[in-house]
Each structure stands twice: as C-alpha cells, then as structure tokens.
Chains A and B, each alone.
Chain A
Amino acid sequence: MLIIVGIFIIVGILEAMTPHLARKTNVFGVSIPEPFVKHSQLIKWKRRYSQWVGAIASLCLLVQIGLHLLTAIHEEKVTLLSFLLLYVMLLLSSGLYMNYHIKTKKLKRQEQWEAQTKTVYVTDLSIRQKDETLPPIFFSLPIIMTIALMTFTYMNYDSIPDSFATHWNSAGEADGWTEKSRLSVITMPLILLAIQLSFFIMGIGMKGAKLQLSAQAKEASIHRELTQRKYGSWYLAAINYSMTILFVVLHYTTVILKNQTAQYFFPLFIAFIVITLGGLLVLIWKLSKSNEPFDDLHTNETAATDDRYWKWGIFYFNKNDPSLIVQKKYGIGWTVNCANKYFYIIICLTLAPILLLIFI
C-alpha cells in the first residue's frame, strides 16, 4: 500500500510539473520561437495545466486513502483500485495536454510568431568534446553478465530443482512457482536481456543525438545540454545496473542456490525502487535547474524549430535526421525517430526474446 501511494504521489507530482521541466522553447509539444518564450498566455496555460493535474491527483489520492482507512475493503482490491486511478489520472492529464497542445498551436499560428522571427542554425564545435554522455560500452557490460548467467545456468542444469519460485508476495514469501524446463530456467535472464538490449541501443542513440542549442542564450543552452545528457545517461545506467543486480541475484539464489525465500530479496527490491524513483527525482531536480532562463532576449532570432516533424508533439518522423534517438518535445526523456529504418529492426530485435517465450 505504502509503495503504491508513494508511486502515485511521485507520478502525480511529475505529471503536474512536466510543462515546467521541458525546455522553454517547447511548450505542450509546440516549438516556441525564442523571442516568445515568455509570452504571458503560455505561462498562464502552463500554470493552469499544473493546477488541474494537481487537483485530479490529490482527489484520486484522497479517494484511495479514504477507502483504505474508512472501509473494510480488502487490501488487494484497494491496490487494484490504486492502479486504476493511476491510469485515470494519466488519461486525464493526456487529455489536458492535447487540449493545450492544440491551443498553443493555434495561438502560434494566429499571432504569426514564425513570420516575426528569423531562423538561424547554431552549434558549437567544441561541445561534442565536452559531452559526458556515458559511452555505449557502459551499457554492454550488463549484457555480458546476463549471457554469462544463462551459460552458467545451462552448465548447472541437472542440479536445478524441479520447480523454483518466480513470484513473491509483499511479505517476501514465494507464491508463484515455475516448472523446470530448458526454456523456463532462462526466462528471467531472457527478459532481462531484452531490456538491456534496448538500454544499450538507447545508450548509442543518446550519444549521437542532437545537441540543441538556442540562438539567444548560447552559453546557457550549452550548459543545459551537457547537464541533461550527462545525468540522463547516468540515470539510465543506474537503472540498468540495479535492475541487472536484482535479476541476477534473484535468479542465482532461486535456481542455482535453490533458496526460494532468501532474507535479502525484499531489501534488494526496496533498494531497486529507491534507486529508480529517487534517481528520477534527482534527475528532474538537476534538469529543471539547468534550463536556460532566457533573461536576455534582445533580437528576433531563434534556433530552427521542428514542428513539422512531430505528430501531436509526441511522435517524431524525420527522414533527413540520421539520428535514432531524439529528446522528447514534451517533458523530459528520449523518444525514437519513427522514420529511421533501424527503429523497426530494433523493435524486432528487442521483442524477439519475449516473442520467443510466448510462442515456443
């Protein structure tokens, strides 16, 4: 219960804050020419969005806590309801997003912002050398670990118990068991491998992704880009490594050591949650601090905008862009270039291990 409420609060805060976390030149998934980033209507809409999402999230939270404290509904049902409310909240905030996305687009067109600004292409030659995004090799080590674990599992296949635990309840007791077979003993490593592969590709993509500088706040935007890329890749690596450790320990203990309910499972799981959520909060704090303020706007220049490549400010299609991964237009994080042919190859590659499990 506590964990779910915790997740709920973090997701709620995140959703409410999202418009303020994004770069100032992107508002509700619409590119804003630099001279207009401080337009009063945009600031008002951003605040309105946060208030709405905050209100919805608080209401949902109160409903859950109320149900838990005041009624005798079984805890599992409350948990289910919590997840349902989480989805409702996300659905409502996406609706709000779309609403403001359309409004912002309309405002931009009506006031002819693009006609009043002058587009320039800017970059800095030394910025790539200063980039501290982790190299892809960092993301390949966990993959090697998983492959080693799978090999080791097969080497010890005969001594694996006939059924082993694959699910635990909140008290840390095993409540889900799996029959031993050639495939079932590597199911968990296979899933891990699929996730690690996609992280690895993300790692390569992040390194090559566009460094977006602004025309009027060059130094500040260099700082923002370097910070966001560095901490973004650190966070990705932190999740990757903690998840690998969690999965490897679980697998090794249950399958090789034949110990189905080790004392350290629960603390390990909590540590994983803390790293994932805590890391996210630290990341967001770092990122929001690094956004350039645009205090000094003195010309009508703006860095090139890319609205025409985005659908709803969410999906990116750009045949001319050789990069696979791009920064999200709304919120923080990364998304793929859907016009890149490798995108489809990668989808197949990462889904292959999972499909293999389902159909064999």
Chain B
Amino acid sequence: MQIRLDPSDELQLYKQLANQIIELIAKGELKNGDTLPSVRSMATDLGINVSTVSKSYHELEEKGLITLKQKAKAVIIGGQKRELEEIEVAKVENDLKPIMAEAFARGLEKEQMTSLFQRILKQWK
C-alpha cells in the first residue's frame, strides 16, 4: 500500500494523495473499516505539511469515502458494494463526459475507448 507523491507533477500534492488513496480503495487493498494513519503521522512519514494531508483527508470525507473521527483518525467507509443513488450516478456521468469527449475529439476510436475502460476496470475488484 505504497504512496508516492511527485512534487514535479502538475497535479497538486493533496490531489495526488487523495487519488492514490481512492485507487487503493478501488483495488480493495483498503477495505471498509480500515484506519488510515493520522494526519500527523501521515505528514511526518511523507515529509510534507500537515495542512496538505488534512486537505486531502477532507476531500475524501466530502466524497464520502472516509469518516474523520476523534484524534485525527480517518476510517474508510467507501469500498463496500451498495446501490448508488441516481443523483450520484449522474455526477459520475457528468465527470466522465468531458474526459471522454476530449479523447473522442482528439481521435480516439470508440473501440479503443471501450478496451481502455475494460483495462482500467480489470485492476479493481
């Protein structure tokens, strides 16, 4: 369950951290009920600012993937299979549309796009 942040990447550090945690949940390595390291120890171990980690955790909380508890503990609540509400599905669709549209506009074939989709989905359980 490694985290690797690249400061030279254009994506901000807190975003990178959040994305990597989300991916670990998707892969099933982080399960419902698992505890993340506290904001403080995460910041200490990574050698980045406490506020960066805190921002990252808050974003995950907003997305409904973790709950922040007392003593800066963060518990995973995402990852379990449940029925998504219609409004949530709509949001995913809205987020996905511009990315797919861009790829399509730049010349990616629909078949290629489908196989790309399959490939990514295969990484997750």
Contact = CB atoms under 8 A, between A and B. Distances in A.
Interface of A: 118-128, 208-213, 215, 218, 303-304, 306, 320-323
Contact of B1 (A124, A211, A321): A124
A128 B41 contact: yes
A210 B40 contact: no
A122 B36 CA distance: 15
Contact of A125 (B3, B13, B43): B3
Interface of B: 1-8, 13, 21, 24, 30, 36-37, 40-50
B88 to A, nearest CB: 26
26 contacts: A118-B6, A118-B8, A119-B7, A119-B8, A120-B6, A120-B7, A121-B3, A121-B46, A121-B48, A122-B2, A123-B2, A123-B3, A123-B45, A125-B3, A125-B36, A127-B45, A208-B40, A210-B44, A210-B47, A213-B45, A215-B4, A304-B47, A306-B47, A322-B43, A322-B44, A323-B44
B4 A125 contact: no
Contacts of B2: 122-125, 218
Contact of A126 (B1, B5, B42): B1
Nearest to B51: A320
A113 to B, nearest CB: 17
Contacts of B50: 320, 322
Given A125-B24, A125-B36, A322-B50, A120 B43 contact: no
Nearest to A323: B44
A125 B4 CA distance: 11
Contacts of A118: 6, 8
Given A118-B8, A215-B4, A218-B2, A123 B46 contact: yes
B14 to A, nearest CB: 12
A126 B45 CA distance: 12
A125 B21 CA distance: 9
A184 to B, nearest CB: 44
B86 to A, nearest CB: 33
B8 to A, nearest CB: 6
B39 to A, nearest CB: 9
Nearest to A305: B47
Contacts of A123: 2-3, 42, 45-46
A122 B46 contact: yes
Given A120-B4, A128-B37, A321 B44 contact: yes
Contacts of B46: 121-123
Contacts of B36: 125
Contact of B47 (A121, A127, A209, A218): A121
Contacts of A210: 44-45, 47
Nearest to B24: A125
Contacts of A126: 1
A121 B44 contact: no
Tell me which of A121, A303, A323 has the highest count of chain B C-beta atoms within 10 A of its own C-beta.
Answer: A121
A116 B13 CA distance: 22
Nearest to B35: A129
A250 to B, nearest CB: 40
B47 A208 contact: no
A323 B44 CA distance: 7
Contacts of B24: 125
Nearest to B37: A128
B4 A208 contact: no
